[in-house]
Amino acid sequence: MTVTASGLQYDFQQALKYGEKVRIRYFSISGGSAIYDDDGVLTQTGTDTWTSGLVQPVAPTRSSQDSVLLAQGKILQNDLKMFVDGAVDTSGLWRVGVGSANPPAREYSLLPEGIIAHGINGSIVYKTCYIRYLSNGSMFGE
């Protein structure tokens, strides 16, 4: 049996049928300085993308990547990781809403560790995104 990128992509898309609805909102950052990040301005760019994602808790006992990031202090125990199709555009991604309502019930921000693409033979099959819950919900004016 030969493993192909298209076969793995098909299998992953079948698994995504059991995922949650995810809204991906894109932003660009302007202004700011090299030292402080509080004077930067986020501007929404493009349109929202709705897709399916598998949202899982961080699992340091089952994932070496999670345990390394936890040990380095780059992610927290209550952060989540989300798996999305490799074809989903993740450049400019900053906000992720999870839930089928509009607006989604839960809002998350992408962590600086960001996105890890997993592929075979040069084709991206899926991406892992580390996300953190935004306790204030949405941004002002949204």
pTM for this entry: 0.81
- pLDDT (tens, 9 = 90+) of the chain, 142 residues, equals 677 888 888 888 899 999 999 888 887 777 665 555 556 677 778 788 888 999 999 987 777 888 888 888 888 889 999 999 988 888 777 778 888 777 777 888 888 777 889 988 888 999 999 998 887 755 544 4
- Per-residue DSSP letters for 7-54? HHHHHHHHHHTTSEEEEEEEEEEEE--SS-STTEEEEE-S--EEEEEE
Task: Please identify which residue in the block is written with the tokens 């125990």.
Answer: 77
